[in-house]
Amino acid sequence: MGNKGKNVKPNKDPTKALEKAVVDRRNQKYILRLYVSGLTIRSTRAIENLRKICEENLKGRYDLEIIDIFQQTEAARSEQIIAAPTLIKKLPLPLRRFIGDLSDTERILVGLEIK
C-alpha cells in the first residue's frame, strides 16, 4: 500500500541522533555497589580507586554504596558475591561486575561505558 497520502516525517539526521545519545549517556546517573571484605588492604585500595574514578569522571552523577560482606552477608548472598572486592554497576544498564582492587582505571572506565 505504501505511504501515499500519509504524513511521513523524514528520517532524523543520524549524526544528531548519535550526538543526542552521547549527551544523554553523559547525563545518566550511575548506581554502583562495591562489596568489600572488611578493612583489608585490597578492600581499602578498591574503595580509594573507585572514589577517584567516580569523582574524576562521574562527579554528581553517581550513587555509591559500599557493603561489607562480613556485616551484610544476606546482601552479598542475594547478589551472588563469590569474591571481594566486587563492584556491581546496577545502572545504567547493562549490569556489569568487576572483581579486584579496581586499579586498572582504563579497564574500569571502558567497562562502565564512561570511555
Q: What is the pLDDT of residue 29?
A: 97
Q: What range defines the domain where residue 95 resides?
A: 29-111
Determine contact, residues 52/58, Cβ cutoff 8 Å: no
Asked whether residue 1 is domain-assigned, the answer is no
pLDDT tens, residue by residue, 24-78? 566 799 999 999 999 999 999 999 999 999 999 999 999 999 999 999 999 999 9
Determine contact, residues 67/113, Cβ cutoff 8 Å: no
pTM of the model as a whole:
0.77
Asked whether residue 20 is domain-assigned, the answer is no
Number of domains in the chain: 1
